[in-house]
Structure 1
Amino acid sequence: MPKLKFAAIQIDNCDAKSVADRDANLHRAKGIIDQLEAVDLIVLPELFTCGYSRETFNELTHLAEEVDGAGFRFFSKIAKEKNCYICYGFPHKKNENYYISQAVINPNGEIACIYSKQHMAQFGNSMEKEYFQRGDQTVSFEINGLKIGMIICYDMRFPELTRSLAFDHNIDFLLHPVAFYKDNSFPSWHHFVITRALENQIYMLSLNRAGDEYGKSIFCPPWIDYNTSPTILKEKEEVMIAEIDTDVIDTIREEYQFRKDRKEDYK
C-alpha cells in the first residue's frame, strides 16, 4: 500500500523587513535541505518566506509574490535537484490582493497545488484581517498514490473544513503549516490537532516555526493509545522525519469504524 516519507522543517526564519531578509530565509532553508536524507516531501511553515509580524505585513508591497515569484523560482530548482515535492508558505499577491498561501512544487519544478488560507485570525498575536483576503477553495493533491490535504493555522478550528477534506477529498494526510505564537490560543492548539486526526482517522502534521515564542510542532497518527503517541518537537530549530503508511490507516478504520457508524445527517 502507498507510503510517503516527509521532512518537516521547524525553521528559525526571521520576520522580514526587506527583500534581503526574505532571501536570507530562503537560503537558511536551503542550508538545511542540502543536508537532508532522501524524502518524498519537504514541508516549511506558514508564511515561511517572510515571517509573521505587523512590521513584516507593512512591507507586503515588497515581500508578497505572485505564483511565479522569487520563492517559486528558488524552490523549483531545489525540488528538481532533490527529486521531491516541496511545500512552503508565502504571502501571495493575486489581483492586487494579498493571501496567506502554501505552494506545493513537484519534482519537475512545477506548481502542483496552491492553497490560500480560508479563515483570517484577528485575536491574540494575529492581525490578518487588516492585511489579507480569505481564500475560497479547498484543495488536495497526490503523491505516490497517497491523497494529501492542506489547511493553514486558524483553519484547524473549523471542523467542517477538515471533514470535507477527509470525506469529499478522501485524504490520508493533512498538512497544517502554522506560525503559532505563544499567546492565549497556543495551549489549545495540540488538542485541536489530535482531535482532527483521530475523528477523521488521518495523519496530521502541524508545523510551526522555531523560536522561544513558537515551536512545539506536532505530528499525530490516525489513532493514539497506550503504545502510540503524537510526536512533539521542542522550540529549537529541528527537522522531523516521519512516514505516512496507508496500511496503518486501513487497520485503524477497520478496528474503529467511526466512518461507517456516522449518520449522513443529524437533523
Structure 2
Amino acid sequence: MANSVRVAVAQMTSINDLAANFATCSRLVQEAASAGAKLLCFPENFSYVGAKDGDSLKIAETLDGPIMQGYRSLARESNIWLSLGGFQEKGSDDAHLCNTHVVIDDTGNIRSTFRKIHLFDVDVPGGMVYKESSFTEAGKDIVTIDSPVGRLGVTVCYDLRFPELYQQLRFEHQAQVLLVPAAFTKITGQAHWEILLRARAIETQCYVIAAAQAGKHNDKRESYGDSLIIDPWGTIVGRLPDRLATGIAVADIDFSMIDSVRAKMPISKVNFIKMFSASDILRT
C-alpha cells in the first residue's frame, strides 16, 4: 500500500427523481476519477429523496436491482471505489426498508453493506418531527472493510451521535478511516455537524469522510450540507468552498500520519473498551 492515497467526498441535493440523481452522481464520479481519487463517498439518500411520506418505500429495491446495478457499473467503468450511503434497500415486508450503506469496489462488486443502526426518531427543536423507525428496519451489525484507502469503518448519519459505535470500529475492528454519509437537518447541522465529526476523528485517531446532502430537496425538507474530510488530529483537510453547492472535495489519506498520531498519543493502551469486558461494565 502506498504511503498516501487520494479520496473524494461528494455533496449533492437529491430529489425524487432516480434518473436525475444518477446523472448527478455520474458527473461527480467522473470528476473524482479525473482528480485521481481511489474512493468517492456519496451522502445518505444519494439515489433518492422522496417528496412525501411513503415515496421511499415505493422505490426501495434489493441490492441486485437495477438502481444498484447502475451504480456498480459506474464504479467499474470509472475504476473507482464508491461509498453509497443510505440506499433504500427493500426490507422484510412492504411497509419497511433498510437504510443501507453499500461499498462497491473498482470492479463493480459489492464489498460490504451496513444497515443503519441508530434510527432518526427526533422532534427537532424549532423544526420537524421525524420517525425513521416507522418505515425503516434498524441494523445490528458493525461493519469494517479493507480497501485501497485503508480499513473503512462504515456508518450512516444519526449513528454519528453514538460515540461507542466509533470506539468499537477503531479499538475492536482496527478502522483507519470512518465513513459518515449523512442528510443532517439544517438546524442540527448548524449546531453539531462539524463538532461531532471532529470529535469522532480526534477520539478514534481516524480519518473521517463525511458526505452530506445540501439544500432544499422539496418544500418540506432541507439539508445542512458541508461535506468534510478530517484527519486523525481533527483538522479539516477537505471541504467544498460552498456549503450548499453540488460538487466534490479531495484530500489524501496519509497512513504515516495515522501511525504518528497513534504513536505519540497511545490512547489504545488505556482505552476503556479494552480495559473492561462487557460483563465487568454491567456489574458496576
Shift of 1:5: 1.6
Q: 2-side partners of 1:136 and 1:147: how far apart?
A: 20
Asked if 1:92 is matched to 2:89, the reply is yes
Asked if 1:45 is matched to 2:60, the reply is no
Q: 1-side partners of 2:201 and 2:134: how far apart?
A: 31
Query: Given that residues 3 and 144 in structure 1 are in contact (C-alpha distance below 8 angstroms), is that contact kept between their aligned partners in structure 2?
Result: no
Q: Report matched runs for 1:1-267 at 5 Å.
A: 2-14=3-15, 16=16, 21-36=17-32, 37=34, 38-51=36-49, 55=52, 57-89=53-85, 90-96=87-93, 97-123=96-122, 124=124, 125=128, 126-144=130-148, 146-184=150-188, 186-211=190-215, 213=222, 214-224=224-234, 228-229=235-236, 231-233=238-240, 234-263=243-272, 264-265=275-276
Shift of 1:134: 0.4
- Amino acid aligned to 2:6: K
Query: Given that residues 52 and 179 in structure 1 are in contact (C-alpha distance below 8 angstroms), is that contact kept between their aligned partners in structure 2?
Result: no
Judging changes above 3 Å, is the alpha-carbon distance between structure 1 residues 23 and 199 closer, same or farther for their aligned structure 2 residues? Answer: same
The worse-fitting range, judged by mean Cα deviation, of 253-262 and 230-239 is 230-239
Identity in percent: 27
Shift of 1:149: 0.8
Q: 2-side partners of 1:168 and 1:12: how far apart?
A: 35
Shift of 1:95: 2.3
Judging changes above 3 Å, is the alpha-carbon distance between structure 1 residues 196 and 143 closer, same or farther for their aligned structure 2 residues? Answer: same
Residues 71-115 of structure 1, C-alpha deviations (whole Å, 9 max, x = no match): 211111111111111111311113223111111111221110111
**Consecutive unaligned residues in structure 2, runs of 5 or more:** 217-221
Query: What secondary structure sits across from 2:180 in the alignment?
Result: strand
Shift of 1:230: 5.1
**Consecutive unaligned residues in structure 1, runs of 5 or more:** none
- Amino acid aligned to 2:264: E
Number of positions where the alignment pairs a residue of Structure 1 with one of Structure 2: 257
Judging changes above 3 Å, is the alpha-carbon distance between structure 1 residues 179 and 229 closer, same or farther for their aligned structure 2 residues? Answer: closer
Judging changes above 3 Å, is the alpha-carbon distance between structure 1 residues 229 and 93 closer, same or farther for their aligned structure 2 residues? Answer: closer
RMSD of aligned alpha carbons: 2.0
